[in-house]
Amino acid sequence: MRLRRAIRNSFSSVGAYLLLAVLGFVVRKLFLQYFDLSYLGYEGLFGSTFTILSVMEMGAGSMFTYLLYSAIERDDREEISQIMSMFRQLYQVIGMLVIGVGLILYLFLPHIVTEPVENWTYVRIIFLVQMLVSVSTYFLAYRRVLLLADQCEYLVVRIETLFRILGVVIKIAVIVWLQNYLMYVMVTFCTNILANLAIYSSCRRRYPYLKRVRVGIADYKEKKIDKEMRSLLVHKLSATVYSSADNIIISALCGIRAVGLFSNYALINTNVMNLVVKTLQPLEASVGNKVNASTVEDNMVFYKGYDLFCRMLALFTFVGFSVMLQPVVVWFYGEEYLLPYAMTLAMAANNYIAVRQYAVTAYRNALGHYDIDRNSRIASAVCNIVISVVAGILTGISGILFATAVGHCFIWYGRVKTVGMIYLQDRSFVRRTFTRETGNFLLGVAETALCMGVCIGMPVSIGGILGRLAVCVIVPNLLNLILLRNAEGMETIRQYAAQIAFQVIDHKGM
């Protein structure tokens, strides 16, 4: 059942993101044709601002998901209701705090946007829409955490995909026929509200036993939520600063139009990485259930296969971004929208780290004990900001993205350390993990150089893009399968691949 749900979640997620990615690129192309590039800069800047404000969430989503894994495994409906009531109560308080801080920032917008602005009405509306979209999650979408913990992500994907497609179609109509930016930004707000309401309603139907339970401070203390949240606050603050600093620093050092140019790369990066992550994410809930129901020995067999799959996928991701990102930007947007190739390599390295650590991240998220890697998260944020400012002044946007990749290494280290200490009780796990990474990354560099050599004469056209894609799909994956054929975990990958094929064939035959 778990494997069937994981397969369903993966196929739903991947299919939805492929469709939305194509539609998203169409919207971006039309946006650049009809609207000024600075609007993209404002969206990126304000989006990062509200991502930073989300630090008030204190990582509650991760913590309550972790608590729900055990309750769902036991089918303890009373505890599930209690946990969700606590989550709802906490999120409502957080939502009100975000509104308060957002309104204060609204008054200081002229100090946040320091460049000359032609129409402050547009800028203020962009800010308010970003705030409302952010806040709506706290009041409406909190129940989705139960669907995710119960491996029903495909339901969330279906609903969000439907409303995002609706939003994209309306945006295209607004851009082409009305050319009204104010209506364009309101579409995002309206479709987001409708999607959250639909998810809320779906959750109520699927879990009719859910009821609101009166909870107080004693209940939070009983589950040690107060202790975990103190550590999670540091995690959330560090992660938010780490992930959202780029746009703000780029705006300060390179200007708002540079943020707009970077947002084109970010759009491609986000869509591709979401596609990669959506392939892996459904297994995260399965890991949470396994940690609570299986022995460490049984889990390590699964972990080694999962980790090896992430290793090969990370190499493929690094090669693909390094070889294809610049030609895709030139072909789709135009050569005037190019940023330095060094920035592309830094983005590719950061994506490699994100995919490479995904297996250990899934186990880390199921364990709690957020105090163990707290200092690593702090180091990632501090390192990212310090190196970003220094490298940004010296080398521009490339240095800022390089700092992001360096900061990501600290996060990776902390997650490996937590799994080694808490779950495996093996302090050598950290050393073994990173000892082999140098060779793995050098393999990625060699595969990239080989693919670049093969693709060097290809034109920047639809044929050339497809040719590069074929090379990036075939060459690194074929080499990885040959070189890693006897690696630990490969047998597990073969077994799961056979089970997935059987499930797919069996489903088609029904």
Task: Give the whole-angstrom CA distance, residue 198 versus residue 143.
Answer: 11
207: left (phi over 0), alpha (psi -120 to 50) or beta: beta
Opening angle at CA 454, ends 453 and 458, nearest 5: 105
**What is the pLDDT, as a whole number, of residue 472?**
94
Backbone φ and ψ of 207, nearest 5°: -125, 70
**What is the pLDDT, as a whole number, of residue 291?**
63
Task: Give the whole-angstrom CA distance, residue 506 versus residue 488.
Answer: 29
Burial classification of residue 90, based on how many CB atoms lie within 10 Å of its CB (0-12 exposed, 13-18 middle, 19 or more buried): buried
DSSP label of 119? -
**What is the pLDDT, as a whole number, of residue 80?**
86
**What is the pLDDT, as a whole number, of residue 124?**
84
**What is the pLDDT, as a whole number, of residue 449?**
95
Burial classification of residue 36, based on how many CB atoms lie within 10 Å of its CB (0-12 exposed, 13-18 middle, 19 or more buried): middle
Sorted by sequence, the CB contacts under 8 Å of residue 407 that are 6+ apart come out as 242, 379, 380, 381, 383, 384, 387
**What is the pLDDT, as a whole number, of residue 509?**
45
**What is the pLDDT, as a whole number, of residue 53?**
63
Task: Give the whole-angstrom CA distance, residue 17 versus residue 235.
Answer: 28
**What is the pLDDT, as a whole number, of residue 510?**
41
**What is the pLDDT, as a whole number, of residue 84?**
86
Q: Minimal CA–CA distance to 291: which of 366, 358, 365?
A: 366
Give me the residue spans of the domains in the chain: 1-232, 294-510
Write out the H or E segment, with its range, that includes residue 117: none
**What is the pLDDT, as a whole number, of residue 240?**
64
Please give the single-letter amino acid code of residue 428.
Answer: S
Please give the single-letter amino acid code of residue 247.
Answer: N
8 A C-beta contact, residue 383 and residue 410: yes
Q: pLDDT under 50 in the chain at which residues? A: 1, 509-510
The DSSP secondary structure of 315-339, one letter per residue, reads: HHHHHHHHHHHHHHHHHHT-GGG--
Q: What is the pTM of this model?
A: 0.67
Task: Give the whole-angstrom CA distance, residue 7 versus residue 2.
Answer: 9
Task: Give the whole-angstrom CA distance, residue 328 versus residue 500.
Answer: 32
Write out the H or E segment, with its range, that includes residue 343: helix 341-356
Over residues 334-369, the pLDDT tens digits come to 888 888 999 999 999 999 999 998 888 888 877 767
8 A C-beta contact, residue 54 and residue 131: no
Task: Give the whole-angstrom CA distance, residue 311 versus residue 433.
Answer: 11
Q: How far is CA 287 from CA 62, 290, 363, in A?
A: 14, 5, 6
Sorted by sequence, the CB contacts under 8 Å of residue 181 that are 6+ apart come out as 35, 39, 122
Tokens of residue 180, six digits: 């009204």
Over residues 113-166, the pLDDT tens digits come to 766 777 787 788 878 887 887 787 777 767 778 887 777 777 787 788 888 889
Opening angle at CA 116, ends 111 and 120, nearest 5: 75
8 A C-beta contact, residue 264 and residue 337: yes
Task: Give the whole-angstrom CA distance, residue 247 versus residue 49.
Answer: 9
Task: Give the whole-angstrom CA distance, residue 417 versus residue 428.
Answer: 9
What share of residues in the chain are helix, strand, coil (percent, to 5)? Answer: 85, 0, 15
Tokens of residue 268, six digits: 């491609």
Tokens of residue 16, six digits: 């939805």
8 A C-beta contact, residue 329 and residue 337: yes
Task: Give the whole-angstrom CA distance, residue 321 versus residue 333.
Answer: 17
